Amino acid sequence: MTGWTAIVLAGERPGGDPLAAVANVPFKALIPVAGEPMVARVIRTLLAAPSIDHVVVLAQEPDRLLALAPEWIARDPRVRRAIGGGGISQSLAGVLGTDVAPWPVLVTTADHPLLTVAMIETFLAGVGDADVAVAMAERTVIHAAYPENRRTWLKFADGAWSGANLFALGGPPARAALASWSEVEQDRKKALRLIWHFGPILALRAISRTIGLNAALAAAGRRLGIVARLVAMPQAEAAIDVDKPSDLALAERILAARDVASG
């Protein structure tokens, strides 16, 4: 499927981001990685992906954010902006399916500077007929490349998984998942509490590791009347975002290695 809208989540946490303060920038999305603001890297990569039609920057102050970003972003007619607030799910609900962000929609984050076109196309190719799809990377994939990288793991029968900040919302039925997500948004980094929102039977199977993550997502989707799917990412870098100084150092090291490899 082509013609995807890509939404870049570029909002700020209440009270600001400590890493942005260290970098002396007003928004986390503007933290430079290898000399370029993170949000610019993400937008440029999305626009280069064949499946993406246009990009929406979703933030509390998108105009101010983009005024401080590289000028080419504001000049590109494929880049749109939308005002968010009140949490991720509420912000997305206000723009999904509108003229600004028509279906289908790919959601990613501004702190994903290692995102590549290959990651985007791999993920979207795996979405298939799903109403909702989630990209994850398995621990063996990540540790094979970056054994020192520390993550929050969701442990299931088919491995330990970490999010890759890529989500596909295929159409209006995906709103059911978004409504459910609003109830658990505050627990998204707390694996055990998040799993319990699936229901007691499914949660116990997950905790006892008698069900795989893809099967658990499919079962959770059936409860909502939608098709939900896991897309396992083969690229370890898909699960590396920038939340702390060690992440920033790792991202810059990876980007430097890419520059050397590309000549």
Q: What is the pLDDT of residue 194?
A: 58
Phi-psi region for residue 29, left (φ > 0), alpha (ψ -120 to 50) or beta?
A: alpha
Q: pTM of the prediction?
A: 0.94
Q: What is the pLDDT of residue 168?
A: 98
What DSSP state is assigned to residue 171?
S
Q: What is the pLDDT of residue 195?
A: 62
Q: What is the pLDDT of residue 64?
A: 97
What DSSP state is assigned to residue 86?
S
Q: What is the pLDDT of residue 231?
A: 98
pLDDT tens-place values along the chain, 263 residues long = 679 999 999 999 888 899 999 999 999 999 999 999 999 999 999 999 999 999 999 999 999 999 999 999 999 999 999 999 888 888 999 999 999 999 999 999 999 999 999 999 999 999 999 999 999 999 999 999 999 888 888 889 999 999 999 999 999 999 988 887 766 555 555 555 556 666 777 777 877 889 999 998 998 888 889 999 999 999 999 999 999 999 999 999 999 999 999 87
Domains observed in the chain: 4-248 (3.90.550.10)
Q: What is the pLDDT of residue 1?
A: 61
Q: What is the pLDDT of residue 14?
A: 83
Task: Measure Cα distances from 85 to 5, 125, 241 in Å.
Answer: 20, 31, 22
Contact 178, 124 (CB under 8 A): no
DSSP 91-138: HHHTTBTSSSBPSSEEEEETT-TT--HHHHHHHHHHHTT-SEEEEEEE
Q: What is the pLDDT of residue 152?
A: 81
255 φ, ψ (degrees, to nearest 5): -65, -35
E-strand stretches of the chain: 4-9, 32-33, 36-37, 52-59, 79-83, 105-109, 132-138, 154-156, 159-169, 228-232
| 221 CB-near residues (< 8 Å, 6+ apart) | 131, 132, 177, 227, 228, 229
242 φ, ψ (degrees, to nearest 5): -115, 100
Q: What is the pLDDT of residue 167?
A: 97
Q: What is the pLDDT of residue 30?
A: 98
Residue 194 CA to residue 184 CA, distance in Å, equals 7
Q: What is the pLDDT of residue 108?
A: 98
Q: What is the pLDDT of residue 95?
A: 97
